Structure formats: C-alpha cells, structure tokens
Amino acid sequence: MIENILPVAKQVFILFLLISAGFTLTKFHILDKSKVSGLIDIVVYIVTPSNLIISFQREFKSELLMQLGLSFGLAFLVFFVNSVLARLLIRDKNPDKNCVLQFASAYPNAGYMALPLQRALLGDIGVFYGAAYIAIFHCYVWTYGVKLLSKDKAKINLKKILLNPPIIGIFIGLIMFLTQFKLPELIYSPLEYFSALNTPLPMLIIGFYLANTDLKATFTNAWVYVGSCLKLLASPAIAIILCLLFKAEKEVMTACVIACSAPSAALSGMLAMKYDRDTEVSVGMISLTTILCIITMPVLVALAQTLV
C-alpha cells in the first residue's frame, strides 16, 4: 500500500506546487480575473481537445474499445449515484446554497485536476480512459446540472453538450481511433505541444480560485463538510466498488478513481454565477476539496491500485 501511495502523493504534490504558483501570482496581482478568463478559454478550446485527440492516436484493439466502453459505463453509474446521494444528504435551508452544494458534491474536476494526474501516472492511456469521464461529466452537467441550478428550470440544451470543445475532441479522437486515421506530423506536433500545457495552465487557474476564496466563511458552513466527504471519500469508494464488481483492469480502475477522487468541478463556480446562485459557497467547496485532496487522492488511488 505504502509503495503505491508515494508515487501518487509525489504527483499530487507536484500539481500543488503548480497551484501554489497560480496562488502566488494572484496575490502579487500578476494574475487577475480577465487574464484567468483568457487562460480558461485556451484550456477549454485548445489544450483539452488537443490532449484528448492525442490520447486516441493509438493502435486499434478490441480490448481497448471494450475497456473504454466500460469506462463510459462506470462514469455514468458513479455520477448517477453521486447525484442521488447529494440530493438525499445535503439539506441546506438556503436554496441558493443547497443546489450549488449538491452540484459541487456530485461532480469532480475531471478535466483540470484528473487529466493531468491520469497522464502523469498512466501516460496517454490514462487520458484515453479519462475521456469517458469528461464526456459523461458534460452530459450530466448540461442536463441534470442545469436543471438543478436554473431558477426557471431551463430546457435541456443538447447543443451545449454536442458542441462543447472537449466533447468535439473526444468525437474526433474516437473516429480516428476506430478508423485508424493517423495525423500527419505537421498536425500532430502542434497538438502535442498544446497537449503539454494541460498540466500547468489548469493548475494556475485553480491557484487563482484558491487565492480569491474566503476560507473562513467556508469553514463555518457545516454542509460544506458533508459535501466534501461525499466528493472526496464516498465518490471514489463507490468507484472502487463498481470497478471491482465489473472486474475492471488496473489502468481503467486507476483512471476511474483518479477522476472520482478529484475535487469539486471548477464549472460549479462558473454556473453558480451564470444562474445567480451562491458563488461564495461554490468557490468554497472547490477550494476546500482542492486542499483536502492532497491527502485523500493519494490514499484512495493507491488503495485502488492495491485491490486490482
């Protein structure tokens, strides 16, 4: 167990050093809201799709396709159970806080935090399996998530799901994987360079969020602790149980548990602002789970690797 914890802890610590750089740059007023907004656009529209497309540039094997399908199934089940548990267990009297806490407790930072760690521990195959969690995450967010946060109960926006840049990247990558179309070097190399930014840029963004969080206000809300336990402990535990039940391979299980043990999705803060909900509690959840995951992620990922 210890020998599994140390490599994961090392990688998580490296991510936190990058996060601390974003924190420091924010405190010295080098990073601000407008600059971070630009970084987010770069990550969403260029870096993440490039990373996903690169991960699908591999030799086709039916076993890989089956394991990818299993990853999609596991992602759907874990997020479903997360959503139900959050709905049942979180009962803040303030509806603007309650819906945000339920959202942040159910859905992980599958892109910003999980993908860099999946790549660091597993290489491109980790991103290959991790793509399933990004796809299912966006399906839940733009259906149930929007219903949960919207005050006017807006209709499901299928366009938001299908035209989301990471989803487009997954579709392109999957088509190339199935057809065995190999990108020419002239295209592959720029995508590879953009893909290399998938670790540092998201960490700087998370550091910015941490630097702008009122942690004192966060620590006084008891439901934040309940939500953090659901996000950081219950969700990966459910993932481990499901992976064992479905006899997932070690790499699939590791990618699954990394995704599910990641902190609350950064998108919860953005959507809370969009739908005029409590942004303070959403940023508080993101920040607290990000801080605590430096302890929980290595232990749970190492446990998953030990059990396979």
- 237-291 residue pLDDT tens: 999 999 999 999 999 999 999 999 999 988 887 788 778 888 778 888 888 898 8
**Answer CATH for 2-307 from 1.20.1530.20, 3.40.50.720, 3.40.50.2300, 3.40.50.300:** 1.20.1530.20
pLDDT for the residue numbered 266: 80
Confidence band (pLDDT; 50, 70, 90) for 307?
Answer: confident
Asked whether the beta carbons of 268 and 100 are under 8 A apart, the reply is yes
Q: What is the mean pLDDT of residues 13-31?
A: 92
d(CA 92, CA 87): 11
Asked whether the beta carbons of 261 and 293 are under 8 A apart, the reply is yes
Average pLDDT, the chain: 89
Tokens of 192: 């590879």
Q: SS in 3 state form for the chain?
A: CHHHHHHHHHHHHHHHHHHHHHHHHHHCCCCCHHHHHHHHHHHHHHHHHHHHHHHCCCCCCHHHHHHHHHHHHHHHHHHHHHHHHHHHHCCCCCHHHHHHHHHHHHCECHHHHHHHHHHHHHCHHHHHHHHHHHHHHHHHHHHHHHHHHCCCCCCCCHHHHHCCHHHHHHHHHHHHHHHCCCCCHHHHHHHHHHHHHHCHHHHHHHHHHHHCCCHHHHHCCHHHHHHHHHHHHHHHHHHHHHHHHCCCCHHHHHHHHHHHHCCECCHHHHHHHHCCCCHHHHHHHHHHHHHHHHHHHHHHHHHHHHHC
pLDDT for the residue numbered 2: 67
- Show me where the domains of the chain are located: 2-307
d(CA 232, CA 63): 30
Tokens of 53: 């497309």
pLDDT for the residue numbered 128: 94
pLDDT for the residue numbered 171: 93
In this prediction, what percent of the chain has a pLDDT beyond 70? 97
Question: Bigger pLDDT: 26 or 268?
Answer: 26
pLDDT digits (tens, 9 = 90+) for 113-157: 898 899 889 998 999 999 999 999 988 988 888 889 887 765 666
pLDDT digits (tens, 9 = 90+) for 48-91: 999 999 999 999 999 999 999 999 999 999 999 999 999 999 99
pLDDT for the residue numbered 153: 61
d(CA 299, CA 8): 8
